């Protein structure tokens, strides 16, 4: 099950993709990580899908990553007494804490925390920004607004407040229960919604207690402003362009995406580009040309992964959607321009440690000589992440005794993960590396590979050795002389 591309594919599971046959077909088509959307479905359904993924993993002998996406707090208006209301541009409309059903003049907004931070002139977005209100006057329990973009609103539509950092925790009571459930289930990544500040991430990390890596979804203007601080305390990033495009002018999203991808890569942390990538494939077996270009752009930018949401969860053509992403990735990565772009972006990566120097040397040596692959022996996964940051032109193999590390790296650019037995001698590490590269067709008997590891073994963060090794049969059978 070798992938012939570097970027990874995340596929969301749902009603269209909940059986063993479909999940296996999605993996075989190219999905590397499966996303469980905690906003939809019960814990029993999530447990069933998790069990199926692990069965597919066992049957195919390849580590598969699982990402549980927490819903986050949902800010919604109340209900209307006579059904949906059509608001006209220029009319006055009031939001308040009165629980009575709304009408054409007002509606309940049961979130006092919003009124705490509102100021005159602030914008409120309703129903994914389809209706926009500007605050004229406000207090602790009301906001008098003018409709600036009209449209129909109805019961319990969502509200966005782009101009303020809300005093709302990123984890609701539901999220805390879902987080604990997902960790006990054994997921590899937790995606945290509604992140506004580093403390949101630290709270989730404390609750997870190391049982899963924390991936911060950047979907709020406040998160963009505090991105450096959020990145520092996160294990990975998701550029969630849907909500970003609601709360910010849509033309702002592409440069933000490019900036966040580069910063995440420089930090050697995986970054997913997500939302509406192949949206038309929910109902069509073919994507639009613009969607294909969107996927290609994320690949050229050096993102670690691209993600399918409703396309694979609820769409009519989930396998076709994954296949399309896989084919686009293979084509883009074979383009000489892709290599030029990736190489040019490497200047943003700064090296400070011995490990940084080792992986930089490995990449340069691999590209200037006839090296078939870079093999990393890693306890924590850090070495593989550092090698992936370099974006070498050859495959990266992460060899680890820990299945959790292998599964987590299913999200990392270019990394082929393999669980191996623990080694305590570098000779044994080299032999294992040769066997794995030969097994999956990364190298032949005539090739050479690079092997990186830390001496002494079994101590995370000690990458300090780099060796060129021949992939000869003699080495596999007899080992090397001391």
Nearest to 214 by CA among 190, 178, 187: 190
Question: One of 8, 24, 35, 391 is an active-site residue; which one?
Answer: 35
d(Cα 278, Cα 293) in Å, to the nearest integer?
10
Characterize the bridge pairing of strands 131-139 and 142-149. Answer: antiparallel
Q: How many CB atoms lie within 10 A of CB 120?
A: 11
76 is annotated as an active-site residue: yes
Nearest to 374 by CA among 391, 395, 390: 395
Q: Rounded to the nearest 5°, which phi and psi values hold at 431?
A: -60, -45
Question: One of 24, 106, 197, 217 is an active-site residue; which one?
Answer: 217
Q: Rounded to the nearest 5°, which phi and psi values hold at 56?
A: -60, -45
Nearest to 298 by CA among 309, 306, 290, 286: 306
Question: One of 62, 265, 269, 275 is an active-site residue; which one?
Answer: 275
Kindly compute the dihedral angle of the four CA atoms of residues 368, 9, 242, 309, in this order, to the nearest 10 degrees: 170
**CB proximity list for 302: less than 8 A, separation 6 or greater:** 261, 262, 265, 341, 342, 345, 391, 413
Question: One of 76, 157, 176, 346 is an active-site residue; which one?
Answer: 76
Secondary structure of residue 154 in the 3-state scheme: coil
Is 26 exposed, middle or buried, given 0-12, 13-18 or 19+ CB atoms closer than 10 A?
buried
Kindly compute the dihedral angle of the four CA atoms of residues 319, 324, 325, 326, in this order, to the nearest 10 degrees: 90
Active site residues: 35, 76, 217, 275
């Amino acid at each position: 099950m070798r992938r012939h591309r570097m970027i990874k594919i995340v596929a969301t599971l749902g009603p269209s993709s909940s059986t063993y046959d479909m999940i296996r077909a999605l993996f075989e088509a190219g999905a590397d990580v499966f996303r469980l959307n905690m906003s939809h479905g019960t814990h029993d359904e999530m447990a069933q899908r998790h069990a199926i993924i692990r069965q597919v993993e066992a049957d195919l002998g390849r580590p598969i990553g699982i990402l549980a996406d927490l819903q986050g707090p949902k800010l919604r208006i109340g209900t209307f007494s006579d059904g949906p209301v059509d608001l006209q541009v220029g009319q006055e409309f009031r939001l308040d804490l009165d629980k009575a059903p709304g009408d054409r003049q007002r509606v309940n907004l049961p979130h006092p925390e919003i009124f705490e931070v509102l100021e005159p002139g602030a914008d409120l977005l309703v129903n994914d920004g389809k209706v926009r209100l500007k605050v004229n006057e406000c207090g602790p329990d009301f906001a008098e607004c003018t409709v600036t973009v009209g449209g129909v609103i109805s019961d319990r539509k969502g509200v966005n407040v782009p101009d303020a950092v809300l005093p709302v925790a990123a984890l609701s009571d539901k999220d805390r229960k879902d987080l604990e459930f997902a960790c006990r289930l054994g997921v590899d990544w937790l995606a945290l919604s509604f992140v506004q500040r580093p403390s949101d991430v630290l709270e989730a990390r404390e609750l997870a207690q190391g049982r899963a890596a924390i991936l911060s979804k950047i979907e709020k203007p406040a998160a963009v402003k505090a991105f450096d601080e959020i990145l520092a305390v996160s294990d990975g990033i998701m550029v969630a362009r849907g909500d970003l495009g609601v709360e910010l002018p849509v033309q702002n999203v592409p440069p933000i995406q490019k900036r966040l991808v580069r910063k995440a890569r420089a930090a050697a942390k995986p970054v997913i580009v997500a939302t509406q990538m192949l949206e038309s494939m929910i109902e069509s077996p073919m994507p639009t040309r613009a969607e294909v270009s969107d996927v290609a752009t994320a690949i050229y930018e050096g993102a670690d992964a691209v993600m399918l949401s409703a396309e694979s969860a609820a769409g009519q053509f989930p396998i076709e959607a994954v296949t399309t992403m896989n084919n686009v990735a293979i084509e883009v990565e074979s383009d000489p321009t892709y290599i030029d772009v990736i190489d040019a972006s490497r200047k943003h990566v700064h090296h400070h440690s011995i490990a940084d120097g080792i992986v930089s040397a490995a990449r340069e040596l691999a590209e200037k000589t006839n090296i078939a692959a870079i093999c990393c022996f890693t306890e924590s996964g850090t070495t593989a992440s550092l090698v992936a940051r370099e974006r070498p032109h050859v495959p990266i193999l992460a060899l680890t005794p820990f299945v959790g590390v292998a599964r987590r790296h299913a999200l990392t650019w270019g990394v082929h993960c393999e669980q191996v037995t623990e080694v305590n001698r570098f000779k044994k590490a080299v032999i294992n590396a040769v066997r794995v590269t030969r097994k999956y067709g990364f190298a032949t008997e005539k090739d050479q590979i690079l092997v990186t590891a830390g001496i002494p073994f079994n101590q995370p963060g000690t990458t300090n050795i780099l060796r060129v090794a021949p992939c000869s049969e003699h080495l596999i059978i007899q080992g090397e002389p001391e």
